[in-house]
Amino acid sequence: MGNEIIPFADLGIVPANDKIFTEISSQSFLPRIMLMQAGSESVKTDKIKQGHFALVLDKESPMDLGDVFDALVLTWRPKAIRIEGNEIVEDLYDFEDPSYKKIMEDSETRVDGMSALFGPEFLCYVPQQKKYATFFFSNKTTRREAPVVKGLLGKIVTFKRKIIKSGARSWFGITTFESTTPLAETPDINEMKDIVKGFQSPSSRKKEAAPVDGQRER
């Protein structure tokens, strides 16, 4: 019996299918892709190099994708979020919602401890990690590149880090183009359909499941 409190096997309990458990416990939210700037907590704590893309599963275990990676871009949706401290207090997907418009307006104003971000959010499949993830183009720099990504929906896209300079200031941006590397393995189509359907039918939430690793508007 080892260190069991009760003889579990003797109770006749049959656990549910392990595959189902794994799926429902791991699909509660989609990971997010982020380009890590110098001010990111993950950079400050040496979890990810600045200027690298990260697949953020949770705040403690971001996966380093390097300064260039490929992803199959499936679809997009509008998104706007308001952050106070490190907490998302508004998370909206309806472009016609007055609160969405207010976040767009507020994104032009800097307030300490608060951020208002908006833009297209893309659903991607990252073959390197065999994971679906969202990529929120939430600031001026990424929004300028967003039409290129939208034009490549359904294709494998190369996302590459680039350095942007303005006077004495510099930061990291993104350049994108169609990849020449085919998928080594095609993801399950039925799973893909389910994930796309869920992505395209979001509900506004007060808090986001995946934690924030704050990036300022540029």
Which residue, 203, 42, 29, 43, is CA-closest to 131? 29
Which value, in Å, is the radius of gyration of the alpha carbons in the chain?
Answer: 20
Asked if 12 and 189 touch (Cβ cutoff 8 Å), the reply is no
Q: How many CA atoms lie within 13 A of 35 on its CB side?
A: 24
pTM above 0.85, yes or no: no
Residue 167's pLDDT is 83
Q: Could you tell me the two tokens for 106?
A: 């507020």
Pick from 31, 51, 78, 57: nearest CA to 175: 51
Spans of all domains in the chain: 28-199
Helices (H), the chain: 18-26, 41-44, 98-106, 140-150, 189-199
Residue with tokens 């924030």, as numbered in its chain: 212
Distance separating the N- and C-terminal Cα atoms of the chain: 59
Residue 42: which residues within 8 A CB-CB, separation 6 or more? 36, 48, 54, 56, 59, 62, 213
Q: How far is CA 113 from the centre of its chain?
A: 22
What is the Cα–Cα distance from 94 to 78, expressed in whole angstroms?
A: 7
pLDDT band per the 50, 70, 90 thresholds, residue 111: confident
Could you report the per-residue pLDDT of 24-59, keeping only the tens digit for each? 554 447 999 999 886 677 777 777 888 899 999 876
Instruction: Read off the pLDDT of residues 126-161 as tens digits, 9 standing for 90 and up.
Output: 999 999 999 999 999 899 999 999 999 999 999 999
Q: Which tops the pLDDT comparison, 208 or 116?
A: 116
Residue 193: is its pLDDT beyond 80?
yes
